[in-house]
Amino acid sequence: MSKDPTVTDPNLYTVVFENDRVRVLEYRDRPGDRTHPHSHPDSVMYTLGSFTRRLQAGDREVELQLEAGHVRWLDAQEHAGENIGETPTHALFIELKDAPRDPADAEALGPA
Interaction site with its own copies (CB under 8 A)? 3, 16-17, 19, 21-22, 24, 39-42, 44-46, 55, 57, 60, 62, 64, 66, 71-79, 92, 94, 96-103, 105-112
Q: How far apart are CA 15 and CA 92, in angstroms?
A: 10
Kindly list the distances between the CA atom of residue 81 and the CA atoms of 6, 55, 72, 104, in Å, as whole numbers in the listed order. 14, 4, 16, 41
| Contact (CB, 8 A) for 9 and 43 | no
The smaller minimum CB distance to its own copies, of residues 75 and 86, is found at 75
Q: How far is the CB of 4 from its own copies (least distance, A)?
A: 11
The smaller minimum CB distance to its own copies, of residues 7 and 62, is found at 62
